[in-house]
Chain A
Amino acid sequence: MTRTIHLSLDINGKRHELDVEPRVTLLDALRESLALTGTKKGCDQGQCGACTCHVDGKRVLSCLTLAAQVEGRQITTIEGIAAENGDLHPVQAAFIENDAFQCGYCTPGQIMSAVACIREGHAGSEEEIREYMSGNLCRCGAYNSIVAAVREAASAVTTGIEAKDKVEVA
């Protein structure tokens, strides 16, 4: 028996209408129904962080979130963090600057997690970054560069060079 439900999802400041089965996760809705494939599926079981998105400004795992659960919430994906004119988010820029990836598969999740980690005030030291970024695994082992990128982006944001985060609610 296939049931579908109608959902309106607010993603990166835009309203999307879709019909999906109730069991569809936010991750699958993004990738399969809305062609927003920046968000990656690693484990699909909450164990790797590749699918990290923001819901109402907080980082969550889209593989363990039903699309139906986030109706009425503000969803932000990796596609929604650069400025409208194409300027990269400071965290994206810091990842490039610090070579913070190899294959790049974990990178969207790392960046979404890092944006939130900095906003939460959990990027004060290398140790703190390692702890609060531990929910994002990198099978290429780019951890040292990822920590360096988060540190650099955190100081850029706190010194106010570029803290603009246009699409997110507080």
Chain B
Amino acid sequence: MRDFSYFRAASTEEASRAMLDAGAMLLAGGTTLLDLAKCGVSEPDTLVDITHLAGLGDIAVDANGATIGALAKMGEVADHPGVKAAFPAVAQSLSLAASAQLRNMATIGGNLLQRTRCSYFREPGVFPACNKRNPGSGCSAIGGVTRNHAVLGTSRACIAVNPGDLAVALVAFDAYVEMGRRRVAIEDLYMLPGETPDWETVLKNGEIITGIGIPASVAAKNSTYLKVRDRQSYEFAAASAAVGIEFEADGKTVRDIRVALGGVATKPWRARAVEQSLIGTVLDVEAVEKASRLSMEGAVSHGGNSYKIELAPRVVARAILTMGGLA
């Protein structure tokens, strides 16, 4: 790990000012940043530690929804009774992520900005070609081992998965992220790789996420996060789905349904085609399985990851059927 200097910010303003220096990076839980610094991917000159800032760790839930400070820990949000009651999929996406130790360290703001686990990206010494790390250098993954790479939202420049679980649940329930007074929908926070995979979010240089908000809805309250992975725990998703459903007064016709996918796309992926095809219908196994296949519209296999095109719709279908009382 390259040497850097350390600055403990006493206020958000002080942190913003310190971030004006080129080479400065914000340090929250450090579980992405220090890991990537050790890999030689991140090379900060200064780390601006924001974990001692007061007032950015609060979690509040009321009838309108939840507001969560950027410094709240993954574990605190996962265990929060109000979040668990009003947004089960959000709480589950966190409790099924990483490990208990990491969840005690990692913050919500840092979680949303975690980087891809593409193993070529993480090994600059062995694989110099990576457009995300080094624009224009090529992509070592394309034509390589792609078992953990994306099938949706890819480009010829980059096929890396956005590995986060929380953002998948947030994108399903129209959450937003706040940078002081600026507010951006989670769906608009992330950018597709296109020709510039090094550019991952719409955040401006040095901009600090201060918190997130999740509007309350019946679908969010009646929701689940299903995560399928290579081992039972402490592993990123091979494919995952956040699903929430609101039924009409008859208790079986779908009034509102939210479906988002993780582990298969270059950004947290809302599957609106699946939602549209099920709204107004009464759920049955066959229709749900058929609708779930729409989540793979436009999917592209790169060889090793072709199993995801089979797996993801099944994960979506199982999550919907579970919420519909049919699984």
Which residues in A have some Cβ–Cβ distance to B below 8 Å? Answer: 1-3, 5, 21-23, 25, 44-46, 49, 52, 58-61, 64-66, 68-69, 113, 116-117, 120, 122, 130-137
Q: How far is the CB of A129 from chain B (nearest CB, A)?
A: 11
- Cβ < 8 Å to A, chain B residues 3-36: 3-6, 8, 27, 29-31, 34-35
Q: Does B47 contact A (CB under 8 A)?
A: yes
State A117–B99 Cα separation when bound (angstroms).
Answer: 11
Task: Give the chain A neighbours of B326 by CB distance below 8 A.
Answer: none
Known: A1-B3, A22-B5, A23-B3. A49 touches B101 (CB 8 A): yes
B37, B47, B99, B232: the one within 8 Å of A135 (CB): B99
State A45–B51 Cα separation when bound (angstroms).
Answer: 20
Tell me the count of chain B residues lying within 8 A, CB to CB, of chain A. 29
State A75–B64 Cα separation when bound (angstroms).
Answer: 39
Q: How far is the CB of B51 from chain A (nearest CB, A)?
A: 6
Q: Does B102 contact A (CB under 8 A)?
A: yes
A131 & B233 in contact (Cβ 8 Å cutoff): yes
A23 & B1 in contact (Cβ 8 Å cutoff): yes
Task: Give the chain B neighbours of A120 by CB distance below 8 A.
Answer: 100
Q: Mark B253-273, 1 if CB is under 8 A from A, else 0.
A: 000000000000000000000
Task: Give the chain A neighbours of B276 by CB distance below 8 A.
Answer: none
Sorted from nearest, which 3 A-B pairs have the closest CB atoms?
Answer: A135-B99, A134-B233, A22-B6
- Considering the complex, give the chain B residue whose CB is closest to the CB of A2: B3
Task: Give the chain A neighbours of B30 by CB distance below 8 A.
Answer: 64-66, 69
Task: Give the chain A neighbours of B3 by CB distance below 8 A.
Answer: 1-3, 21-23
A1, A2, A5, A59: the one within 8 Å of B100 (CB): A59
Task: Give the chain A neighbours of B37 by CB distance below 8 A.
Answer: 23
State A2–B104 Cα separation when bound (angstroms).
Answer: 31
A135 & B105 in contact (Cβ 8 Å cutoff): no
Q: Mark B34-74, 1 if CB is under 8 A from A, else 0.
A: 11011100000001010100000000000000000000000
B27, B34, B102: the one within 8 Å of A25 (CB): B34
Task: Give the chain B neighbours of A1 by CB distance below 8 A.
Answer: 3
Q: Does B98 contact A (CB under 8 A)?
A: yes
A69 & B51 in contact (Cβ 8 Å cutoff): yes
A135 & B38 in contact (Cβ 8 Å cutoff): no
B104 & A58 in contact (Cβ 8 Å cutoff): yes
Q: How far is the CB of B206 from chain A (nearest CB, A)?
A: 20
Q: With contacts A64-B31, A64-B105 known, what are 18 further pairs, Cβ within 8 A?
A: A23-B4, A23-B37, A45-B38, A46-B102, A49-B99, A49-B101, A60-B105, A61-B31, A64-B34, A64-B35, A65-B34, A66-B47, A68-B49, A113-B100, A134-B99, A135-B102, A135-B234, A136-B99
